[in-house]
Structure 1
Amino acid sequence: MTIALVATSGLWAGAAHSEETVVWWDFLSGGDGVRMKQLISDFNEAHAGEIKIDATTLEWGTPFYAKVQTSAAVGEAPDVMTYHASRIPLALTQGVLDEITPDDWEKMGLSQADFAASTWDAVTSDGKQYAVPLDTHPIVLYYNRDLLKKAGVLGDNGEPKGMDSKEAFTATLQALKDAGVQYPLGSVTADGNFMFRTVYSLMCQQGGELMTGDEFLVGDNADKLRNALAVLSDWTKAGLQSTYTDYPATVALFTSGEAAMMINGVWEVPTMTDLAQQGKLFDWGAVELPVIFDKPCTYADSHTFAIPKNQGKEMSPEKRDAVLETISWIVKHSLFWATAGHIPAYAPVTESAEYKAMEPNATYSSLTANMIFDPKTPLAGIAGPIFDVMSNYFVPTLNGEMEPADAVESIQEELNAL
């Protein structure tokens, strides 16, 4: 699938420029990488003779961010790069991000009104913005309509029953088990880093927060973390959730029909879509997480575009305009990016008729009103210290080998020691 090419925006239209090369780094692999390469190709075609993106894909996670930090320190970072919103607080302490100024936003034809409040806040620090959101990528609940229908727990709307309370959803899981489904719910229970997303969502559903000021799990927030862990641990003990399952195995359990439902990121939508088109998958869907506690809430992060602060290397006005045009064009053409499962951050895209016809994306995109991002601290974010500490205790707890109260006590001590 490709997108229609459109004329360049106001930054370059009608102006005489020699061709600018924009050096680009990203960490996008798999389906994300395929789609971004297509967008880059389309951009280069639309801007032939004016701007050319010279793109390099680096290893996701810590290796990417370490290379950005060291490269920016010696003036060898790229002109533009992908960046997780959750990593921005740490990046600011390292001095590796340039501010996206009000003048930049005006040149790009973008503004705060174009983005969800939580998404905009995620790239903001002390009233200044340091990245441009491309998407939000939350976790969702994937489900097998065939198995749910067989167990009598598929609603008339084609979505799972029991999505409004812990008791009702647990009953749905139990009905699936009683109907002979081996794993009512597939979860990445062997990876505490991944399960942070689910646990943090359930904390937020209770109005809880991980960090208050500079302290972790203040007041009753420790109880809310314990409640979240207890729900997941109880499902494991009751045989309602897969145990010690790593990421690939979780996807395999769902796609093989051994698991009736799966909690995973929206980035697995292409996997399901491709299998379905090949006639190798059941009737499936994806929806916002069930409301287990008091209110809907789902963990999310954002892929964003950021401009590195290259030490000792001043970016020319012409180069900066080319970078801004690059960011603006990709963001405004992010309908194609949505085919990777992500929810485009640019509101005019998600409000378009084309996006509203895109399933299951349009069904779960409403969760952008209920999102929670990582705490704003250099300790948080993808592959950050908070993930590592909590992961050590999530795995034994979610697999029924450690009591939630004991896990929370240890987590609280280690987090505050950070």
Structure 2
Amino acid sequence: MRRILKKALATAALIAFAAGAQAKETVVWWDFLSGGDGVRMKSLIDQFNKEHADSIEIQATTLEWGVPFYTKVQTSAAVGEGPDLMTYHLSRLPLGVATGTLREITPEELKAAGFSADNYAPANWKAAQVDGKQYAIPFDIHSVVLYYNKDKLAAAGLLSQDGLPKGLDGVDNFHAALEKLKAGGSEYGVSIHSAAGDSQWRIFYSLFSQQSGKFLSDNGKFLEGDNLDKAVKATSVVAKWVADGLAPKSTDYPASIALFTSGKAAMHINGVWEVPTFTDLAKQNKLGFEWGAVQLPTFFDQPATWADSHSFAIPNRKGKEISPEKLKAVLEVVKWMNEHSLFWATAGHIPAFSPVTSSDDFKKMQPNATYSTLAKTAVFDPSSKLAGVASPVYDAAGNFLMPAINGELDPQGAMEQMRDDLDGQTE
């Protein structure tokens, strides 16, 4: 009897062990995605959960974008709470590392999960590192692009036979094109968010980087040496558009978009995230013209475009570190999301995972495939805890760059004040 009982207990233990080994892993997920991004991510999460019903379940929560999100992540990680996985802007990595909020993903862990730098644009992969250590895995590249009204550009002789703009490279050529478009009946040659500091930073940093500018020197100083002159040049270009009536003055985000969609502005500079807006309006026959989007023209010495990335990161929870089993599940989630990022591209983004961007399906996706060339020359925000989304650098852009664009400050004085303001915050 004892022998039978022992055998029964051993069998029960084996069954319990097997059940435990096959238990479903729960991945607690936080993101900051709203609007079209939020809808698309929810769809991807639902699809993942259906395909992994027996092994992994993502339990997702969406928090407020910007400072509130990063503050909550930092405070929760410090007390051992928070998610297993979260979305994170690569531009905010330096602050996350400096505050101990982010967990390194080691080369061994990346290799075991099947991640390779070869599958990502070099600048994008590097932006996911701080001091050579990996703290995130990129999901996309999102940047500013030049939207254009094909009808108006064609009438002005600025459209090539393949439907792409021509004659826009160079500061003088672009300015002349704006004048030609205005003379042809457009209220503005280009609409910009001249009342939005973050939008102006993206244009500024593109033009600044086209001059090989270095916003933050290796010694931690901002706009040091001739970089100040390059910053003044970049600022002066956009300020002249506004001063000459070729771009609108003190115009907010919605109004700037409306100028383009109404046909009052022939071109528009904005993020790739507005592609769904124009796509939907065109499908509803509410646009009234054919549109396209391309990489920003090369105004100075070399092509360069401001960029950031939505990425995936793991919080460094004090006293409640992630287990090997949970880490395996988390990295499986990230890998799956990258492999299925073609759907994410419908939000206008460029997938970070190159096997997706090199696929036939992506090459047919317009205008994404056309402007995806910018990934090769994308420039990410300076690697600093003062830089990135909702950062002191963005605040300084609102306080100094934006007034300079609108003629309220002299570009030289504005850049000097911006430099001094940021240098003062490093002390």
Give the alignment's TM-score, normalised by structure 2. Answer: 0.93
Structure-1 separation of matches of 2:170 and 2:212: 15
Q: Which amino acid aligns with 1:271?
A: T
Question: RMSD value over aligned CA atoms?
Answer: 1.2
For residue 386 of structure 2, what is the aligned residue in structure 1? 379
Write the mapping of 1:220-239 to structure 2, written as runs, cut at 5 A: 220-239=226-245
For residue 208 of structure 2, what is the aligned residue in structure 1? 203
For residue 140 of structure 2, what is the aligned residue in structure 1? 135
Structure-2 separation of matches of 1:269 and 1:190: 21
Bigger CA drift: 131-140 or 381-390? 381-390
Shift of residue 110 of structure 1?
A: 1.4
For residue 262 of structure 1, what is the aligned residue in structure 2? 268
Shift of residue 328 of structure 1?
A: 0.7
Write the mapping of 1:315-354 to structure 2, written as runs, cut at 5 A: 315-354=322-361
Deviations 1:372-394, CA, capped at 9 Å, x for gaps: 11111111111111111232112
Shift of residue 337 of structure 1?
A: 0.6
Gaps of 5+ in 2: 1-19
Shift of residue 165 of structure 1?
A: 1.0
Q: Secondary structure at the match of 2:269?
A: strand
Moved runs in structure 1, 4+ residues, more than 6 A? Answer: none
Percent of residue pairs bearing the same amino acid type = 56
Tell me, yes or no, if the aligned pair for 2:401 and 2:415 is still in contact at 8 Å: no
Structure-1 separation of matches of 2:408 and 2:164: 33
Quick one: which of 180, 185, 188 aligns to 1:180? 185
For residue 23 of structure 2, what is the aligned residue in structure 1? 18
Shift of residue 156 of structure 1?
A: 2.1
For residue 8 of structure 2, what is the aligned residue in structure 1? none
Structure-1 separation of matches of 2:400 and 2:36: 31
Deviations 1:78-105, CA, capped at 9 Å, x for gaps: 0000000000000011101111112321
Structure-1 separation of matches of 2:422 and 2:111: 41
Shift of residue 299 of structure 1?
A: 0.3
Gaps of 5+ in 1: 1-14
Tell me, yes or no, if the aligned pair for 1:107 and 1:324 is still in contact at 8 Å: no
Q: Secondary structure at the match of 2:375?
A: helix
Deviations 1:38-80, CA, capped at 9 Å, x for gaps: 1001100110121111111111100100010111111111000
Pair 1:358 & 2:384 matched: no
Structure-2 separation of matches of 1:276 and 1:186: 19
Tell me, yes or no, if the aligned pair for 1:22 and 1:80 is still in contact at 8 Å: yes
Give the alignment's TM-score, normalised by structure 1. Answer: 0.95
Shift of residue 16 of structure 1?
A: 5.6
Tell me, yes or no, if the aligned pair for 1:162 and 1:171 is still in contact at 8 Å: no
Structure-2 separation of matches of 1:297 and 1:126: 23
Deviations 1:5-41, CA, capped at 9 Å, x for gaps: xxxxxxxxxx962111111000111111111011001
Q: Secondary structure at the match of 1:65?
A: helix
Shift of residue 163 of structure 1?
A: 2.3
Larger Rg: 2
For residue 282 of structure 2, what is the aligned residue in structure 1? 276
Tell me, yes or no, if the aligned pair for 1:267 and 1:340 is still in contact at 8 Å: yes
Tell me, yes or no, if the aligned pair for 2:63 and 2:69 is still in contact at 8 Å: yes
